[in-house]
Structure 1
Amino acid sequence: MSNPNDYTVGWICAISTEYVAAQAFLDEKHEGPEYVSPNDNNDYTLGKIGKHNVVIAVLPGGEYGIASAAIVARDMLHSFPNVRIGLMVGIGGGVPSKKHDIRLGDIVVSVPRDGKGGVFQYDFGKTIQNQSFCTTGFLSQPPTVLLTAVSGLQAQYEIDGHQLEKAINDVLKLKPRLVKKYKRPDPRTDRILKPEITHDSVCTTECAHGAFNVVFQFERGKEEDNPAIHYGLIASANQLMKDALVRDRIAAEMDVLCFETEAAGLMNHFPCLVIRGICDYSDTHANKEWQGYAAMTAAAYAKDLLNRIPPNRIEAEEKVTELLSRVYNYVKKVESKMDRKEDAEILNWLTNIDYGPQQSDNLQRRQPGTGQWLLDSTEYSTWLKTDKQTLFCPGIPGAGKTILTSIVVDDLCKRYPDDTSIGVAYIYCNFQQKGEQTAYDLLASLLKQLAQGQSSLPGGVKDLYDQHQAKKTRPSIDEISKALQSVAAIFSRVFIIVDALDECQASNKCRSTLLLEIFNLQVKTKTNFFATSRRIPDIERAFKGNPTLEILASDEDVQKYLDSQMSELPGCVLKRPDLQEEIKIKIVRAIDGMFLLAKLHLDSLKSKWTPKAIRRALETLPTGSEVYTETYDAAMDRIKGQTGSRELAIQVLSWITCARRRLTTLELQHALAVEVGKSDLDGDNLPEIEDLVSVCAGLVAVDEESNIIRLVHYTTQEYFERTQSHWFPHANVSITTICVTYLSFRVFESGFCPTDDSFNERLRSNHLYNYAARNWGHHARMALTLCQEVMEFLEQQAKVEAASQALMMPARSSNYSQRVPRRMTALHLVAYFGVEDAARALCQNTAEIDAKNTDSQTPLSLAAKNGHSKVVELLLENGAELESEDDRGNTPLLSAIRNGHEAVVQLLLEKGAKVQFKDKQGWTPLSLATENGHEAVVKLLLSKNVDVNSRHEYNWTPLWIAANQGHEGVVKLLLQRKEIEVNCCDIDGHTALSKAASGGHEAVVKLLLEVDNINPDYKDNCGWTPLMRAAQNGHEAVAKMLLMRNEVNINAKEEGGGLLDLERGGATNYSLWNDHSSWSYRSRGNYHSSGSYYSLGAYHSQGKISNYLENDVSHNSTRCIPKIYVQGSGRTPLSWAAKNGHETVVKLLIDEGAEIESQDNGEQTPLSLAAENGHETVVGLLLGKGAKAESKDKRDRTPLSLATKNGHERVVKLLVNNSTAVG
């Protein structure tokens, strides 16, 4: 038997045909292995090729795909630990094109191309809202030893030609049984169907379609290799490619040569080269006749390749077994992904924002060796080692903050690659993503990233989804924050990294909200926070007292960058080392710590062709406070001097600067290819991206991973925003014209797409469609004049409906493209965007003023919803119905209030809009305004003498809602009304004070406690007081304010005994969370406690609740209403604070006289609860205050036994030491 340790080459096949071919080319065949790993289910053939011992394995019969290949590799490495390199050899589907003459029997070898490692997974990526599917991730390239052998063999073939056909024939002579299946088929059976032709289910050599459906191929000449070998990109996925149209689209975008179904499972963890013989053309033309021969050509090539590699080269490679754990983890991840479709849908429902591609792009832009100074700094080292630490890194514009942020993210991921107890989440704030970078989106992204780090989706996230998905609502920021806290608490440590806080909006409180929630997260969990920003006073104030490390481009880093870029300069520089040194010295001296300037200054030298011109430019490099303005002015002067390309550069810059979001390269290409007046896009008019970048004098860059084309820096955007009226004053008119021309193309004549598939295909095929449909009106509104093309577009109803579908589509999920309103008219569209001139023209042309779409929205509803006061006034002047209601009971007034559009609200109120009514969810105009914190709107409504105590369906009043959300200004306005009821409760007995205390809203609590008749110790239906809520959630300042009131009982116990009304909330809308001896609940809506949720049935089985049937005699009838009786835990505020580890609150309560030995219903003391949950500092504090370490609960458990059972070693040590000291 053979010794597994003797084999250094691993060869993997997907199907038995490939397995046979591989064995046929062995020079020697060995006996089977002496032993294999106990859980290894692979079948192996061992042998020798040249001087290499080779182990060959095959996937199980009937299985294919990424996960299966990864499992075979994993098991092989368990049993053959000395394998150093791998080969994936077999068959694949070719991609014939004008560029690549690929035919059946040819060979494709995976070689890196255009930033891809040789294989890319085309079904792995992200779908960004309002954009098409984008592949993400990077698969490693083959080992260098194999790529070197490929190059050597390629050169050998080019000189002498290959002998693959002869090698195959020699094998077939030795093994005649293989001839029938593995010989070369008749070349006449090699037929390529046109992409639009789908083939019959049963395909024979006599094709059912005529010759006009077949692509003509010239016969290869004698001087050409046949079979031919092609080198480049192989596309891999979990599905067979059988769609010629999709095949050609992906091939055109990625220059793909071949499709297959296994390699993506191996590349990152099993260092291998993929070799594929072409057996079909990845279409519906099922052609198994060529599979045998294709497998033989691939195996013959693999043998030639191995014969070029000396054995000692392979032995020098790292053992693949050292990567085994990564293979295993990858398999688990793949299998988990395949089993977690629902989880993926939930995560994408949270947000579609994905910073992964941006992280990859930023890291790729890093010059090797730069940024190490930050990782080596004392400040960074301390930040890493210390829990709950913040490190603030301010820096001047262009200092390299974003690249350094990517270095930090990369460092954390490499430090903790397989540690699931460490969470890492990061955000790249971007001035061009204002629309998708609200506080909600940023917090949701952090939640999504941390949730993805768990082996299964956390229950709190699932509950959030379940609660809202059924009602088609979105979570509030408060709910997202609470879910973020619950998920972060799962990790032993969390690292949050935020880049460019200065690019996060301040006007809409996005920045302040984000910082507040992250700082709150630090209080409640072990979260470390790293942030970069320009020096903005309010940002610096937010980080006052925290460690700070200023970011400046170090001279050493800049020199490394300049060294790497010297080859881009003219020949006069390349030949003169002294001139290169002079350039480096003067640029380093001029940039004053601004890395970006090094790039811009270097770009300015590329058009200087003599040493004298170079030196003259170096002498005039801008410096001082206006350095960026002068540098950009100089770049624009260079662009102005570009004969023939000046206009193209201006178009590129105007689109990128004025676009309402970041553009992909394909979107920009389509935009620039539009010819006004034409009905179709001419593919021959598409400019090359390389040309678009080159004409812009270094002001434009492409992020390769995400295919985003952008300005090179934030300062570039700021420059063009200041100078837009000079450089491109008519940009919005031009962009509007191009967008509506695009939307008027003939391809949109079919109107509304009836299925997701057809809509997705429309998005994929028409790259500017999404942007144009969602933004043409915004550009039209900002344009000085209304172009005629807009009105021509609006006259075509089918195209209006096609544009409306993309405009109104929700986040992607099943049937998403159909969940948009139909029957959108031209007036709906212009009202939505607020294009006043177009709306006036349509009104004059007798457009139906109150036309309703299928959601019963009128043009007035949409104009009010989006805050377009001038269009609202215009529609009302033309007779629009003031009180029209949509399907949800929203009037135009409610729509305007929901989004805080003060001017529109005032206009509608002046026109007599009703203010005292409820929508179908029970919201009044005032309650809705208070929920969203719109103070100005609340003030307008209060001037109309509305009922300030109006009740929502769940008894929420405006004051209750504002207090729950923490809207201090709104609470202050409401408290000015004499008739306000400050002690009003919701259906579960929560007062406004209780909700404010629970949420930690200090300013609101202070306002409420100043009211004379406030009850600061009111118990809700479940026996909770405001102090308990504050203590449970760790709100020290709130607890301190409450304790200043004599009425507050510091030792009050949560006794339960309340009845929860299922009729009002619905049985499916209540769930309980269990902490072993206590309870809470949540009711539907946005206002509930957070925790780990249990079902009612499970809770009932523990004897915690009982069902009651009570007679309800309202409406003169008797019926049974189910209610739930809940037994409380008997805990005091101190018990809750101790249980949840809130050290400062525990200290406050003890200092204020809280009973340190209070027992809950299970006879657990605060010390017992703290020890059970591993809160070391709280345990130490309680012991220091004299808490009894020997106390026992009802089950005879001591604090020590509970800490021991739960593995809290430090707490155990603390308790033992205390016992010893006491003894």
Structure 2
Amino acid sequence: MSFGFSVGDFITAIELANKIRKEFATAPSQLKGISNEVRSLSIVLQDVEVVLPEQKLSSQQKIELHNIAKGSRNVLSDLEKLLDKYGELNSDPARVGKRMKRVWKRFNWEPEDIKELRSRISSNITLLNAFNGRLTRDNLVNLLQHQQDQECRVIIDWLSSVNYATQQSDFISRRQEGSGQWLLNSNEFQVWVNKREQTLFCPGIPGAGKTIISSVVIEHLSSRFQNDATIGIAYLYFNFRQQQDQRLEDLVASLLKQLVQEQPSVPDSLKSLYELHKNKRTRPSFDEVLKVLQSTIASYSTTFIIIDGLDECQLSSGSRRKFISEIFNLQANTGLSLFATSRFIPSIIEEFNGSASLEIRASNEDVQRYLDGHMPYLPSFVMRRPDLQEEIKNKIIKAVDGMFLLAQLHLTSLIGKKSPKAIRTALERLSTGSEAYDHAYKEAMERIEGQITDSRELAKQVLSWITCAKRNLTTIELRHALAVEIGKLELDEENLPDIEDMISVCAGLVTVDKESATVRLVHYTTQEYFERTQIFWFPYAQTDIMVACVTYLSFDVFATGSCSTDEQFKARLQKNVLYDYAAQNWGHHARVASTKKYLVLQLLKRDTRVAASSQAMTALRGNSWYREGVPAHSTGVHVAAYFGLGEAMMGLLRNGCHLDLKDTYGQTPLLLAAANGHGEVVELLAAMDGIDLNSKDNEGKTPLLRAAANGHERVVKLLLLIGGVNPNSKDDDGETPLLAAAAKGHEAVVKLLVAMNGIDLNSKDNDGMTPLSWAVAYKHGAVVKLLVTTDGVDPDYKVDSYAVIWRSSVKIPAPSLTSASSSSF
């Protein structure tokens, strides 16, 4: 039975109502009441008819509306039938060609049957008004919900731009059905998943399939608890090529983002944090995000955190150790369950000492599933020979010895073989043992060398770009990179290579993550191999990449300089897909390029191109905004200092560039070079007559303070050896170089600074914090030990909120803080 309706149902009823209203135009006063009722029904019908096309009605609403429309038509039809009872149409021949007029009978009161129809019409009007009112209220609720959803999305996107979900989709799509089931069935995993506050550490050799196993665990948890809103699931995939997105604050922000977006609304604590930083256009600190993350985890009954590839977490400034420590602190405070994978790295294994552990190795069953699924990629004669297929599988399974990646490489090496004999010969030469990967990669490169010239050159271009790029490239970015023609002033899209061709010539060493559209080497070990052998396979890669980037940034499209609005800048980024990468990284490639450095100076002398590239170089990332424009007065000498381009800097100085020219942020070339740790350029600039060694930027920070805060030991040492540098200079927050270095845990820099004559060991910032108190607050044990054993450091510092941390850090009993100098770590 159908309960459908159409707008036509209302049009029919409206037309009938209007017809009847016209008939009532000359009706006696006793019928004015029903005439008005018909008029009201007509108006309400029209009101509903107007809004219907914009509505998405539920099934129940459609049934309700169908019944109301039907009732309205019925009562109007019944009323039309009564018209003949109380009046007749005048058929006077003199009125031929004119509308016939109804002649009404006369009566003294309203007939009973008319009263009954009035009641029915009134009832339909009430139903229609109620329905229309509910639609209006629903629309208002939906509008408010949409606005709230939009606000939530803005806040969630502001937290982090990294999307680990696309990586999860890529990894799980590569899994053969049933792979990893051995881990899900293991006693260790069952204990981990069924009890709170559990840790399961799963180390494995390179290429054992750790990342695929992590994706299997995430998929299992997501499926098992998909209908349980009290369970939180968040995960991280560490990648050595994405360390710019994997700072400590980025990691905790990403975990928070995943947990929040599964909740019906954004927590008030996160809304407050967003509002605090939105107007200032600043990013929240690690501690701020960590606090909100802890409260969010606590809102779930159980939270699972999965971390893949801890060995690929950056080591600078003790980031990996601190991250692991903070995750364990979160676990202690919230009862979360942690699953982590890593290579066999002693320092990481030590961190998980005492935790449940289960080694990840590619099982023979998983390897066989993979080989079964990929057998069709081999020559057709293999598919006609079941015996040969079994021989291939047995030989590869025996050779890989738990290294899943090796099975992939070995199978790929058989593609293109022309006969069963060629297959068997290759099988006899399969590499095994600790050097297996190097042998497999070398054989793959030898196959590439054996291709025709164009294919060989394309493969080497692809491999060199992926190996040397500072971050992962998208497929379209790499296509544009390879299409750049030296000396041209625009990109010819007819020169874009096809991604399928680019992958096919690389002998299985390159893969595309379809969800994220990024192109990468098949494994971390592939990257390590090419880093060791780059000088042999593509010795001029850095130069070639630098030339391509400089050529791209010199295109005519950038001749107008920087964009004046966010909209223009975003449009430029979208239209020129290599612009972002080239602007942010060309100088890093130029710094290590071996030839053609004259091109660098040519670019830096072109002010509008410098302005255009600097805009993308300094644009904020991971936020819902960009910096409009570019720092005024940001010239070639600033960019050379930022990237540490010594030769280019000398060339610019010979042309008479202003040494102490400041950009909008008050940064001089010396300050930029110091902040980024470029000792050669710092030494060059510091030796120039008349340079201001203590120039301050808009935050009051000097070159020494910036270098100290960023842990650049060599630069700090250089600056301290130069007379005239003030080691106690304070910024707008009262921070000194020693305070900054101590707060960041840079032990080597702290050691240099405390050895300086005249250094203020107990300087206080605007919050009354000293170097020692900041070191304690951030739990930098080595720095705390160094400071408390340094003569002149006052241990009687601000202790209120840090006393507990202090005592645990220096291992002294409360309340004798003054005994710290004799404590051991």
TM-score interval for Structure 1 and Structure 2 normalised by the shorter chain: 0.7 to 0.9
Q: Does 1:969 align with 2:782?
A: yes
The CA distance in 2 between the partners of 1:837 and 1:444, in whole Å, is: 40
Instruction: For residues 187-236 of structure 1, give each alpha carbon's deviation from its aligned partner in whole angstroms, at most 9, with x where no partner exists.
Output: xxxxxxxxxxxxxxxxxxxxxxxxxxxxxxxxxxxxxxxxxxxxxxxxxx
Distance 1:635 1:59, change over 3 A: farther
Q: Does 1:434 align with 2:247?
A: no
2:37 matched to which residue of 1? none
2:33 matched to which residue of 1? none
Distance 1:791 1:692, change over 3 A: same
Distance 1:667 1:572, change over 3 A: same
Instruction: For residues 225-279 of structure 1, give each alpha carbon's deviation from its aligned partner in whole angstroms, at most 9, with x where no partner exists.
Output: xxxxxxxxxxxxxxxxxxxxxxxxxxxxxxxxxxxxxxxxxxxxxxxxxxxxxxx
Instruction: For residues 387-431 of structure 1, give each alpha carbon's deviation from its aligned partner in whole angstroms, at most 9, with x where no partner exists.
Output: 101111122221211111111111111111132211100000111
Q: Does 1:744 align with 2:519?
A: no
SS of the aligned residue for 1:508 comes to helix
Deviation at 1:931, TM superposition (A): 1.6
Q: Does 1:576 align with 2:385?
A: yes
Instruction: For residues 969-1022 of structure 1, give each alpha carbon's deviation from its aligned partner in whole angstroms, at most 9, with x where no partner exists.
Output: 22223323454443333xxxx54xx4141x58722353986644789xxxxxxx
Distance 1:776 1:62, change over 3 A: farther
Q: Find 1:535's aligned residue among 344, 352, 369.
A: 344
Counterpart of 2:788, as a letter, is L
The CA distance in 2 between the partners of 1:688 and 1:335, in whole Å, is: 46
Q: Find 1:349's aligned residue among 158, 162, 168.
A: 158
Q: Is the 8 A contact 2:413 2:444 kept in 1?
A: yes
SS of the aligned residue for 1:886 comes to coil
The CA distance in 2 between the partners of 1:920 and 1:551, in whole Å, is: 52
Q: Does 1:881 align with 2:688?
A: no
Written as runs of structure 1 = structure 2, the 5 A alignment for 1:582-593 is 582-593=391-402
2:314 matched to which residue of 1? 505
Counterpart of 2:802, as a letter, is K
Written as runs of structure 1 = structure 2, the 5 A alignment for 1:683-1082 is 683-811=493-621, 813=623, 816-818=626-628, 820-879=630-689, 880-911=691-722, 912-944=724-756, 945-985=758-798, 990-991=799-800, 994-997=801-804, 999=805, 1002-1004=808-810, 1006=812, 1011-1012=817-818
Distance 1:442 1:889, change over 3 A: same
Counterpart of 1:76, as a letter, is S
Counterpart of 1:344, as a letter, is R
SS of the aligned residue for 1:425 comes to strand
Distance 1:550 1:727, change over 3 A: same
SS of the aligned residue for 1:837 comes to helix
The CA distance in 2 between the partners of 1:920 and 1:895, in whole Å, is: 13
Which has the bigger relative contact order, CA under 8 A and spacing at least 6?
2
2:185 matched to which residue of 1? 376
The CA distance in 2 between the partners of 1:812 and 1:393, in whole Å, is: 31
Distance 1:562 1:973, change over 3 A: closer
Distance 1:861 1:1008, change over 3 A: farther
Structure 1 or 2: more strand by fraction: 1
Q: Is the 8 A contact 2:807 2:813 kept in 1?
A: no
SS of the aligned residue for 1:818 comes to coil
Deviation at 1:955, TM superposition (A): 1.8
Deviation at 1:540, TM superposition (A): 1.9
Deviation at 1:727, TM superposition (A): 0.8
Deviation at 1:536, TM superposition (A): 1.8
Instruction: For residues 506-528 of structure 1, give each alpha carbon's deviation from its aligned partner in whole angstroms, at most 9, with x where no partner exists.
Output: 34322211211111111111201
Q: Is the 8 A contact 2:160 2:623 kept in 1?
A: no
Q: Is the 8 A contact 1:966 1:1001 kept in 2?
A: no
Distance 1:78 1:625, change over 3 A: farther
Distance 1:1004 1:351, change over 3 A: farther
2:460 matched to which residue of 1? 650
Counterpart of 2:737, as a letter, is P
Distance 1:1014 1:575, change over 3 A: closer
Deviation at 1:439, TM superposition (A): 2.5
Q: Is the 8 A contact 1:669 1:686 kept in 2?
A: yes
Q: Find 2:265's aligned residue among 456, 465, 470.
A: 456
Deviation at 1:817, TM superposition (A): 3.1
Distance 1:336 1:402, change over 3 A: farther
2:330 matched to which residue of 1? 521
Q: Does 1:405 align with 2:217?
A: no
Deviation at 1:894, TM superposition (A): 1.6
Distance 1:946 1:588, change over 3 A: same
Q: Is the 8 A contact 1:732 1:782 kept in 2?
A: yes
Written as runs of structure 1 = structure 2, the 5 A alignment for 1:227-626 is 338-626=147-435
The CA distance in 2 between the partners of 1:831 and 1:1008, in whole Å, is: 49
The CA distance in 2 between the partners of 1:532 and 1:973, in whole Å, is: 34
Counterpart of 1:684, as a letter, is E
Gaps of 5+ in 2: 12-48, 64-140
Deviation at 1:829, TM superposition (A): 0.4
Deviation at 1:62, TM superposition (A): 6.2
Distance 1:609 1:848, change over 3 A: same
Deviation at 1:878, TM superposition (A): 2.5
Deviation at 1:351, TM superposition (A): 2.4
Higher-Rg structure is 2
Distance 1:498 1:565, change over 3 A: same
Deviation at 1:882, TM superposition (A): 0.9
Distance 1:934 1:1009, change over 3 A: farther
Distance 1:844 1:972, change over 3 A: same
Deviation at 1:662, TM superposition (A): 0.4
The CA distance in 2 between the partners of 1:462 and 1:688, in whole Å, is: 45
Distance 1:78 1:936, change over 3 A: farther
SS of the aligned residue for 2:560 comes to coil
The CA distance in 1 between the partners of 2:187 and 2:640, in whole Å, is: 57
Counterpart of 2:751, as a letter, is K
Deviation at 1:760, TM superposition (A): 0.8
Counterpart of 2:367, as a letter, is V
Q: Is the 8 A contact 2:633 2:664 kept in 1?
A: yes
1:1019 matched to which residue of 2? none
The CA distance in 2 between the partners of 1:407 and 1:1014, in whole Å, is: 49
Deviation at 1:733, TM superposition (A): 0.8
The CA distance in 1 between the partners of 2:489 and 2:230, in whole Å, is: 57
Q: Is the 8 A contact 1:801 1:824 kept in 2?
A: yes
The CA distance in 2 between the partners of 1:595 and 1:342, in whole Å, is: 44
The CA distance in 1 between the partners of 2:417 and 2:577, in whole Å, is: 38
Distance 1:789 1:406, change over 3 A: same
Q: Is the 8 A contact 1:809 1:819 kept in 2?
A: no
Distance 1:525 1:872, change over 3 A: same
Deviation at 1:875, TM superposition (A): 1.2
Q: Percent identity?
A: 51
Instruction: For residues 748-804 of structure 1, give each alpha carbon's deviation from its aligned partner in whole angstroms, at most 9, with x where no partner exists.
Output: 011101111111111111111000000000011122335222122112110100000
Distance 1:1010 1:626, change over 3 A: farther
TM-score normalised to the size of structure 2?
Answer: 0.81
Number of positions where the alignment pairs a residue of Structure 1 with one of Structure 2: 706
Deviation at 1:451, TM superposition (A): 2.2
The CA distance in 2 between the partners of 1:551 and 1:382, in whole Å, is: 17
Distance 1:622 1:784, change over 3 A: same
The CA distance in 1 between the partners of 2:807 and 2:470, in whole Å, is: 35
Counterpart of 1:995, as a letter, is Y
The CA distance in 2 between the partners of 1:581 and 1:60, in whole Å, is: 68
